[in-house]
Structure 1
Amino acid sequence: MKLPGQDAIARQADEHLVTHRVKLPRKMVEHPIRQVAKRLSMALVVLVVTAFIVYVDKEGYNDNSDGSLDLLDAFYYATVTLSTTGYGDITPVSDGARLTNIFVITPLRVLFLIILVGTTLEALTERTREEWRLNRWRSTLRDHTVVVGFGTKGRSAIKTVCATGLSKERVVVVDPSSKAIDAATADGYAGVIGDATRSEVLKRAELHRARQIIIATQRDDTAVLVALTARQLNRGAKIVAAVREEENAPLLKQSGADAVITSASAAGRLLGLSVLSPSAGMVMEDLIQQGSGMDIIERPVIKAEVGKTPRETADLVVSVVRGHRVLGYDDPDVGKLELTDRLITIVRATPGTQVAPDIRPLPRS
């Protein structure tokens, strides 16, 4: 049974999926009107050059109407010749005029035709190039990040992940709005237009080969359906989702999400903390902004730290991840650090540097 509002989303997605289903980021191209004006100018130049060549050698041409050739006749002959109309009322009669037609005017005619059909040729070339790019993109995309929803939450999540060193080429955005996908491709991300609750849409995003999935939809019921579909397609990917209502978080975890962030509650807690202590609120805001000030990261324990307590490490350790448990730095169960442990630490962010591949930032709201 479909949840309320899903039919409207599906209809909106179907409208957009008719023509463009996958959009790849591309370089800015010249405005179409400017392109047409440039081609018309080139065609006009070819026409004027041809008419000038004919007029210079006007004695080598014969006009059946009056026998002489003036400037208007030269432009008329150039027009009907370049357009391959060829009425035959004006003809080259001298050897020089005929040689000029063979070696000069004929190449100009070919150039003129190429300019006129340039739009069609460019459309065919662009279509072939886009198809080649799409096939190459699909064949090389592995262990990427799929972001469902390109609203405020989705944009912030992508920005945070990319701040750790993930390239934009390894991010795929899925959204039912064509405007959102246009914005995503303008920022350098690949985009898929469609309803992410449908498996065929997620397959176009190559979700079955993704390493991590971020669900940042506007509705909680949509997030649940997306999580169910995504987990069915990819059993090993890490799925992180955001919900508005805290009561929906357990349902989302049952649907396959590894971590669930309650956006409304998280924002409310930050607001409350800022009221009690504006400085503490500023610190928390700094921690959740990856790449500036202080960052909170997850990293493995190095050999030199094995056998030590969390307080004896060089970094500021706040928690220890042991197996599936997250223990506080002062938890008696932590004892000595083990090689299989992972540390959640607070470090000073260095602008322009990237996080090492084995160091992962914590999920953010």
Structure 2
Amino acid sequence: MSDRLRRPPADPPMIGALRMPDPTVGPVVSLLRRLSIALGALVATALIVYFGQAGYVDNNNTGPLSLIDAFYYATVSLSTTGYGDIVPVTSTARLLTTVVITPLRLLFLIVLVGTTVELLTERSRQAFRIQRWRSRVRDHTVVVGYGTKGRAAVETLLGDGAEPSEIVVVDTDRTQLDSASALGLVTVTGNATRSSVLRIAGVQQASAIVVATNRDDTAVLVTLTARELAPKITIVAAVRESENVHLLRQSGANSVIVSAETAGRLLGMATTTPSVVEVVEDLLTPDAGFAISERPVEESEIGGSPRHLTDIVLGVVRGDDLHRVDAAAVDALERGDRLLYVRKATPPDQP
């Protein structure tokens, strides 16, 4: 196991590892919108010249201006090319050029130059958003690994009321990170066994970290690194084999979930008591049916037994210890106790 847990050499400083969620409006839509504004300014200028052609003269043509001539003048005027072959000669035409066409020229240039500048400064804008996010984020949750387990953990957090901006996903797979970013989650590209990656994710200011990697040895290394950086953070890790549970706990994990054995137990139960499996899945789904939740004990409940409450209480958390509902130690509730109870789940589309 020691060879498998050997820490890889340190990576050079990463640039662009942290990515904020993409804006609601896509780049193609934004570009088409700006192009429409530019074309609108061009058409408006051409129509002004065409309908006011009496005030313009074409030095290369003695006849009236055609619509093509009007668009030609609008194009060279708005782009500030200005060949000087078509010019306003009357006072009215010059007034329109000053009051209307000049603002349209500025709008045209702002749209084109603004689009170019935005494309060139996207990296700087992203860096500013990252800096602002890092200065404000506190008590967030870091999810390491966005596979099946990590995605389910994120869905549960969101179902329990967490905001997408309060969740940071760390993974090396760009496809997985794109899926997380589509949900509005902040993503970090990199190997979470390295302290530099976890620092970028803000693990030192986080309240919890979920380790949902595909390998148990990787989970141990991530847990060790996270505990070293943030001694007080809550670490929840998933492992495939039960024999590695003690390694995770010795590494600093507060809770360890054995994913393979848990799934195996449900499979075994489903062969004889499928209804029990349905109830368990219902309790584990926060947005449908019933769910297990936690709440503080109310003043009116202090001194009473948790078995006599209206809610279906499964356990009582007192201090750092969890007691079953029938334990003698919690037969009388105390101020500061927290109840684990079954509540009716609220679908995400309902208040």
TM superposition score category, shorter chain reference? 0.7 to 0.9
Deviation track 1:246-299 (CA, whole Å, cap 9, x = no partner) reads 111111111111111110001111111222322222222223223543433455
Q: 1:217 to 1:56 in 2, by over 3 A?
A: same
> How far has the Cα of 1:230 moved from its partner?
0.5
Counterpart-to-counterpart distance in 2, 1:319 and 1:37: 57
**Alignment match, 1:200:** 196
Q: 1:300 to 1:88 in 2, by over 3 A?
A: closer
User: Which of 31, 34, 38 is residue 43 of structure 1 equivalent to?
Assistant: 38
Q: 1:281 to 1:88 in 2, by over 3 A?
A: closer
**Alignment match, 1:215:** 211
> How far has the Cα of 1:169 moved from its partner?
2.6
Counterpart-to-counterpart distance in 2, 1:321 and 1:44: 65
Q: 1:173 to 1:96 in 2, by over 3 A?
A: same
**Alignment match, 2:289:** 293
Deviation track 1:188-218 (CA, whole Å, cap 9, x = no partner) reads 3222222111112111211101111111111
Deviation track 1:171-191 (CA, whole Å, cap 9, x = no partner) reads 222122222222112223222
1:86 aligned onto 2:82 = yes
SS in 1 for 2:25: coil
State how many pairs are aligned.
346
Taking structure 1 as the reference length, the TM-score comes to 0.79
SS in 2 for 1:208: coil
The answer to whether the Cα contact below 8 Å between 2:20 and 2:181 also exists between their aligned partners in 1 is yes
Q: 1:3 to 1:52 in 2, by over 3 A?
A: same
The answer to whether the Cα contact below 8 Å between 2:139 and 2:207 also exists between their aligned partners in 1 is yes
Moved more, 113-122 or 36-45: 36-45
Q: 1:142 to 1:123 in 2, by over 3 A?
A: same
1:135 aligned onto 2:131 = yes
The answer to whether the Cα contact below 8 Å between 1:243 and 1:261 also exists between their aligned partners in 2 is yes
1:54 aligned onto 2:46 = no
**Alignment match, 1:101:** 97
> How far has the Cα of 1:55 moved from its partner?
3.9
Alignment of 1:141-290 (within 5 A): 141-290=137-286
Moved more, 317-326 or 107-116: 317-326
Q: Give the percent of matched residue pairs that are identical in Structure 1 and Structure 2.
A: 48
SS in 1 for 2:162: coil
Q: Which runs of 5+ in 1 are unaligned?
A: 354-365
Q: 1:109 to 1:291 in 2, by over 3 A?
A: closer
User: Which of 339, 344, 347 is residue 334 of structure 2 equivalent to?
Assistant: 339
Amino acid at match of 2:219: A
Amino acid at match of 2:248: L
User: Which of 99, 112, 117 is residue 113 of structure 2 equivalent to?
Assistant: 117
Deviation track 1:148-184 (CA, whole Å, cap 9, x = no partner) reads 1112111222222333333333222212222222211
Q: Which runs of 5+ in 2 are unaligned?
A: none
Alignment RMSD: 3.5
The answer to whether the Cα contact below 8 Å between 2:314 and 2:342 also exists between their aligned partners in 1 is no
Moved more, 46-55 or 187-196: 46-55
Q: 1:111 to 1:282 in 2, by over 3 A?
A: closer
Q: 1:56 to 1:244 in 2, by over 3 A?
A: same
Amino acid at match of 1:154: G
Amino acid at match of 2:172: P
Counterpart-to-counterpart distance in 2, 1:239 and 1:233: 12
Amino acid at match of 2:244: N
> How far has the Cα of 1:243 moved from its partner?
0.6
Counterpart-to-counterpart distance in 1, 2:311 and 2:266: 25
Counterpart-to-counterpart distance in 1, 2:247 and 2:307: 37
The answer to whether the Cα contact below 8 Å between 1:169 and 1:190 also exists between their aligned partners in 2 is yes
Amino acid at match of 1:243: V
SS in 2 for 1:209: coil
Counterpart-to-counterpart distance in 1, 2:61 and 2:302: 105
Q: 1:102 to 1:168 in 2, by over 3 A?
A: closer
SS in 1 for 2:238: strand
Counterpart-to-counterpart distance in 2, 1:180 and 1:130: 20
Taking structure 2 as the reference length, the TM-score comes to 0.82
The answer to whether the Cα contact below 8 Å between 1:320 and 1:334 also exists between their aligned partners in 2 is no
Counterpart-to-counterpart distance in 2, 1:315 and 1:97: 80
The answer to whether the Cα contact below 8 Å between 1:55 and 1:69 also exists between their aligned partners in 2 is no
Deviation track 1:82-140 (CA, whole Å, cap 9, x = no partner) reads 22222233433444443333333322322222233241244467666544433332222
Moved more, 158-167 or 257-266: 158-167
The answer to whether the Cα contact below 8 Å between 1:306 and 1:336 also exists between their aligned partners in 2 is no
**Alignment match, 1:361:** none
